[in-house]
Every structure is written in structure tokens, then in C-alpha cells.
Amino acid sequence: MKSVVAENLVKTYSKGSVRALDGLSLDVEEGTVLGVLGPNGSGKTTTVRILATLLKPDSGHAIVGGIDVIKNPKAVREIIGLSGQYAAVDETLTGWENLVMFGRLYHLSADQARVRARELLEQFSLTDAAKRPIKTFSGGMRRRLDLAASLIIRPKVLFLDEPTTGLDPRGRMDMWGVIEGLVKEGVTLLLTTQYLDEADQLSDDIAVIDRGTVIARGTSDHLKDKVGGERLEIVVSEKDITAARQIIDRVSGSTSTVDAGLRKISAPVTSGSAALVGVIREFDAQGLHALDVALKRPSLDDVFMSLTGHAAEEEKLEEAKAKKRGARK
Amino acid sequence: MNAISDALIITKRQLQQLIRVPEVLIFNTIQPVMFVLLFRYVFGGLGAGIPGGYVQLLMPGIFVQTVTFTLAATAQGLAQDMEKGLIDRFRSLPIARSAVVMGRTLGDGLLNIVVLIVMGLAGYAVGWRPTSGPLHIFAGFLMLLFFGYALSWAGVFGGLFSKDARVVGNISFLFTFPLTFLSNAFAQTTSMPKPLQYFAEWNPVSTMVAATRQLFGFHNKFGVTAHSYPSEHPVTTSLVYMVVIMAVFMPLSVRRYKNRQ
């Protein structure tokens, strides 16, 4: 059974000039984890905000836990948990006070709210810090408390919007551990992230989104296969880049990408070592010199690059968003 | 029913904040007390011929000014909650759409009780002596609270449009400061240029000041509009103003909160 279904969601800002979501569709099977992977400004947060009833789409529809998000948002709020990019808790209050307050707002009795707060503080290793104002918490602790607040009613569906953005490596590892624990308990989770390793580590299924639409969907392995077999990576000196690229494109039969800083040209190849030998031979014939040569198995990074591969576009959307924010002030 | 208990939880949160950060309460009371002292002794001489002296006219003015600033406090508090993402968290909870804003206005209203008590005592210390009976005095303070509460809803509405809490605070002061000074709060309107008198005397701040002066036992003198309804019935006029302010801003604010993008 599908716990989350979104169909053709469209959301525009600035009177239609910015399409945050452009016909986005996705679904999450009950008890599984969907990782929504995409660069900044690709529409991840907008998607979560719509599914969590914070935002109404211009068109399309969405169902969470069998309930229509647009027609019956109140019933959806009874069964979801949401934890966003920043810890949305009251910083002046203590961790304990925050959890009891949210428990009360979920209409638990005063006693039930206290019991639940105690359980959650224990589960997230925050018992010692419970009596301290959130202000004094580390970033990782704040995020854990925020997550705890979203679990008060044991939600059927949990939305985590970039749960580890801004955390230090240790905080991230802790957070991963916590999320993996939840997944084991069988929660249905939709998680957005811009980190490939995070999507790889935590999700059953990955939806890659870009410019407001899903451009690829599948398991991590499936996506890697989709990009093709291996990648050829060759480092040359500055002056040789253009010539080397022509050769690589011709031999590999695909379009290479260039990392100008590292002077590294890379291209997906299907014929593996044959392509490597072919390129080296051509280099030799034209008197080019390769500083480093490698044939690599694809990583999820490559998947990401080959699927989205337009950093400039991402910036454009960000700019438009910033303008929108400016205009609203 | 749930809407009210949810709102009270939000109000409780604000009171807990005051315990955690008592500075807020302290500065909220120091500022108006400072105003009492400054005006009492800087402009004290203006009251020649006023029975009981300038301080009798001044205190209602400062009371009204202080509760008028509730607008800015509410707007800023709400804007801060939005900035922190707390409002989004609240909006994802199964609570009434009115609960958060209602709770916020109640919290700011409760804070005004403390502030008014402290100011009243400070006023008494510098010679303010209401001459009416305890019931009238009580009614006067009740009106002040209610006026602050009504304006708090205007603050909610403004705050919900905020993208930056500091800017919201500044804008609200830009709006409330002239409103409290283009009034009879600190000087009789009769000494103002005629066109200004019209504005000043219809200003809700002025009718409130006139109403509380009356309830505390002092007559308030209006200029050009001396025979108008607000001048002759400041209490009723002020009550009408409050009802109108709330009738406009309560539904607008709840709607804005609900449809926030």
C-alpha cells in the first residue's frame, strides 16, 4: 500500500515566473524510506511543505496515509510528523518544556505528555540536557530534540527535510543512527537531502528531483546502472583540455564533463578498458600527455551529475527565489 | 473548546519564556516607568492651573502609550517565531488555526497587567492621585488592558507579513509612535494647529486617554471637536474603536496564518 502519493504537483511563485514544482509526482510504499535527492532550489522543501499541509499547490493532488492533503489537512496533521531544516523549537525553553508543550498541543493529557517527553528524551539520549534551555544545545542535540518533537504521537508518516544539513560529521553520524533506528521500527519516511551518501545510506528508494520534477527514480543500484558502466577520468594540463576533450568525446561516444580546477575530464564509457586504450592511443598520436588516467565504477555522485548536471540552472532558481523574498518584504 | 485550551498552552509557553529570560519583563516595565519619571519632571511645569498638577493628565497618557506599544511587541514576537520556523511547526500540528495567534495576544495581554500595576505604583509615587472611586479606577485599567489586547491583533496581522523580525519591530514603532504623540496623551490638543486637532481628537489613542482620564476623575479638554461624539463620550467611542479593530484584524489574522505560504 502507498502511504504517500503525490501527483502532478505544480507550485509557482512570483506570479508564475518561478516554477518551484513543475508537475512533480512521487509515492512512498508503506514502511519504506524514500530519499528525495536534489540540489538547492530543486523543489525538495516545497514538496515536503505541501505534503505536510503547510502549503497549497497550484494544481495536482496529494494523499498521505490515505487522506487527501488538500481537502482534509486537519486529519493529515493527526498522523504526520515533520522536522525541518532548522530546529523549530522554542529556544528559550528547556528540552523538557518543549516536548511537554508539543505533547499538550497534540492533545495528550498533562500526565501522558510528561511520560512521552521522558520516553523521547531517553530514546534520543537527551535526558541529561533536558533541563537546559535549547539555546545551550549543540546543533546535533537541537536537531535530535526537533526530531523527537515530531515523533510525539508516533506518526504514521514522517517527513524529514534535510535532517543533517548544517551538522558536523559527528552530528550527522548520530542523526543517521537515530533515523535508522526509527526505520527499523517501521515508520514510513520521506526524507529530503542534498547528500548522496545520505540518500544511499538511509533510503530504500531514491527520487532524484531537479527543477521541480522527478528526473529519476529507483534504488541506489538501479540508478547507478542507469548511468552506464564505468567512467573514464583523465587529468591533463591546462592547454590540452580542449583537444583532449574532443578525443574523449569521440572515443567514448558521450559528452564529457570537465572539472576545470582539477583539469579533470570525465565521461561515461560502455566499453571499459577498450575505451581507455583507445583514448590513450589517440593522445599519443596527437602528442598529448595524460597526467593521470583512471577507470572508475560509478558513484551516486556520477548519477547525480549525469542526471542533473547543470549547476548554473540551480543558481538561477536560487536567484529568482531571493528576488521573490526581497519583493515580499 | 480545544481552540481555547490550545491557545492557553501557547500563552503558557510565553510565561515560561518570561521565567527563563526575566530581562524581558524587567525591560518591559523599566521603560514605561522611565517615561513616567521623565515626563513627570521634565514637563511637570506645564501643568500650571491643572488641579493636582500635570501628573494627573500625564499618567493616563503614559498608560495608553504603553499599551499601544503592545502592537509592536506582538508583531515582533510573532515575527521571531516565524523566523525560527516555530510557526511552521505549529501549523503542522492538529490544532485550531486561531490557537497560536490567540495564545500570543493573550500572553502579551497578561504581560500588560504586570506592566500597568508597576506603572500605577510608580505614578502614585510621583504624585498621581485618581479622584474617582475604586470601581472607576478598576474600569479604567480594564479598558487599558482591552485596548492593548485589541491592538495586539493588529500586531499579529502585521507580524504575519514579516520576513525579518527586527524590521517588523521598527515598522510598528514608526506607526505607533506618531499615533501616541499626535494625541492628547502628553499635551492638550487645544495647543495644536487646528487641522491637526481634528486628527488628534479622533485618534483612538486620544479617546482612550480622554476615557481613562474621565474614569480616573479628571476632565479632558478637546479643542475643535469639543462638541463631537468622541469628545462627549470618550468611553463609548473607545469601546467602539476596540471592537472595530478586533472585528477587522481577528479574522484577517487567522486567515493570514492559515494561508501562510
**B189, B223 Cβ separation under 8 angstroms:** yes
What chain A residue is nearest to B82 in terms of C-alpha separation? A88
Residue A17, chain B, CB below 8 Å: the answer is: no
Domain tally, chain A: 2
Residue A316's pLDDT is: 45
C-beta of residue A291 within 8 angstroms of C-beta of residue A237 = yes
Contact B84 A88 (CB under 8 A): yes
Q: Give B165 or A271, the one with higher predicted confidence.
A: B165
Q: Are residues A107 and A236 in the same domain?
A: no
Output the DSSP codes for B183-229. Answer: SSSSS-GGGS-HHHHHHHHHSHHHHHHHHHHHHTT-----STTTTSH
Give domain status of residue A305, yes or no: no
Query: Averaged over A77-94, what is the pLDDT?
Result: 89
At residue A122, the pLDDT reads 93
Nearest to B9 among A91, A104, A133 (CB): A104
Q: Measured between CB atoms, which of B6, B92, B260 is closest to A52? A: B92
Would you say the C-alpha torsion A135, B253, A72, A116 has a positive or negative sign? positive
C-alpha cell, B61: 497618557
Question: How far off is chain A from B93, nearest CA to CA, in Å?
Answer: 6
For residue A315, pLDDT beyond 70: no
Q: pLDDT tens digits, residue range A176-186?
A: 998 998 888 88
Question: Do residue A7 and residue A22 come from a single domain?
Answer: yes
Taking CA–CA distances from B1, the nearest residue in chain A reads A107
- Yes or no: say if B114 and B22 are a contact pair by the CB < 8 Å rule: no
In tens, the pLDDT along A185-231 reads 889 999 999 888 888 889 999 999 988 999 889 988 787 777 666 77
Is A133 in contact with B261 (Cβ distance < 8 A)? no
- Residue-wise pLDDT for A142-196, tens only, equals 999 999 999 999 899 999 999 988 888 888 898 899 899 888 888 999 999 988 8
Q: Which of A202, A224, A246 lies at the terminal end of a domain, its last residue?
A: A224
Give residue B19's domain range: 2-258
Residue A306 domain flag: no
Instruction: Give per-residue pLDDT as tens, A40-85.
Output: 888 999 999 999 999 999 999 999 999 999 999 999 999 999 998 7
Q: Which of A74, A133, A329 has the CB atom closest to B20's CB atom?
A: A133
> Cβ neighbours of residue A161 under 8 Å, at least 6 residues apart?
A44, A45, A48, A82, A83, A84, A85, A192
Helix/strand/coil for A308: coil
The pLDDT of A95-109, averaged and rounded, is: 96
In a domain, residue A104? The reply is yes
The answer on pLDDT for A324 being more than 70 is no
Looking at the fold, whether A113 and A259 belong to one and the same domain comes out as no
CB B156 within 8 A of CB B71: no
Q: Are residues A68 and A126 in the same domain?
A: yes
Based on the fold, state whether residues A104 and A166 are members of the same structural domain.
yes
Interface membership of A82 toward B (CB under 8 Å): yes
Residue that is written with C-alpha cell 513627570 in the block: B40
- Whether residues A293 and A163 fall in one domain: no
Of residues A53, A56, A89, nearest to B92 (C-beta): A53
**CA distance, residue A193 to nearest chain B CA (Å):** 18
Q: Please indicate, yes or no, whether residues A142 and A177 belong to a single structural domain of this protein.
A: yes
Q: Please report which helix (H) or strand (E) contains residue A307, including its range.
A: helix A300-307
B65: which 3 cell numbers? Answer: 502609550
Q: Check if the beta carbon of residue A59 is closer than 8 Å to that of residue A8.
A: yes
Confidence band (pLDDT; 50, 70, 90) for A328? very low
Answer positive or negative: Cα dihedral of A298, A303, A304, A310. Answer: positive
A197: domain CATH number is 3.40.50.300
How many domains is chain B partitioned into structurally? 1
**Is the CB of A97 inside 8 Å of chain B's CB atoms?**
yes
Q: Please give the pLDDT value at position B61.
A: 93
The answer to whether the complex's ipTM is over 0.95 is no
Residue A253 CB contacts under 8 Å (≥ 6 apart), including other chains: A270
Q: Are residues A189 and A54 part of one domain?
A: yes
Report the chain B residue with the minimal C-alpha distance to residue A94: B20
The verdict on residue A107 lying in a domain is yes
* Chain B positions with Cβ closer than 8 Å to A: 2, 6, 9, 12-13, 16-17, 20-21, 84-86, 88-95, 99, 163-164, 167, 259-261
pLDDT band at A301 (very low <50, low <70, confident <90, very high): low
For A54, the closest of B86, B91, B94 (CB atoms) is: B91
CA distance B215 to B236: 12
Distance of alpha carbon A184 from alpha carbon A228, whole angstroms: 32
Do A216 and A242 fall into the same domain? no
Start-to-end CA distance of chain B, whole Å, equals 27
- Which of A207, A224, A241 corresponds to the end of one domain? A224
Q: Is the pLDDT of residue A317 over 80?
A: no
Confidence of residue A262 (pLDDT cuts 50, 70, 90): confident
pLDDT exceeds cutoff 50 at A1: yes
CATH number, domain with residue A283: 3.30.70.100
Q: Any idea how long chain A is?
A: 329
CA distance B255 to chain A (A): 13
Domain span holding position A94: 2-224
Domain presence at residue A315: no
Does B92 contact A89 at a Cβ distance shorter than 8 Å? no
Q: Measured between CB atoms, does A22 come within 8 Å of chain B?
A: no
pLDDT 10s digits, A21-39: 999 999 999 999 999 998 8
Contact list, A64 vs chain B (CB under 8 Å)? none
Residues A109 and A136 in one domain: yes
Per-residue confidence (pLDDT) for residue A228, from 0 to 100? 61
pTM: 0.82
* Residue ranges in chain B modelled with pLDDT below 70: 1, 47-48
Gap from A107 CA to chain B (nearest CA, Å): 8
* CA B151/CA B70 separation, integer angstroms: 7
Q: Are residues A46 and A192 in the same domain?
A: yes
The alpha carbon torsion through A116, A117, A123, A125 (nearest 10 deg) reads -170
Sequence-ordered alpha helix ranges (H) in chain B: 2-20, 22-42, 54-68, 70-83, 86-91, 99-125, 134-159, 165-181, 194-202, 204-215, 229-232, 234-258
* A252 and A210 in a common domain: no
CA-based nearest distance A268→chain B, Å = 42
The C-alpha cell that represents B90 in the structure block = 505549529
Instruction: Please say which residue of A224, A254, A274 terminates a domain.
Output: A224
A326 pLDDT band, cuts 50/70/90, is: very low
Q: Do A77 and B93 touch (CB under 8 A)?
A: yes
Interchain proximity A80–B13, CB inside 8 Å: no
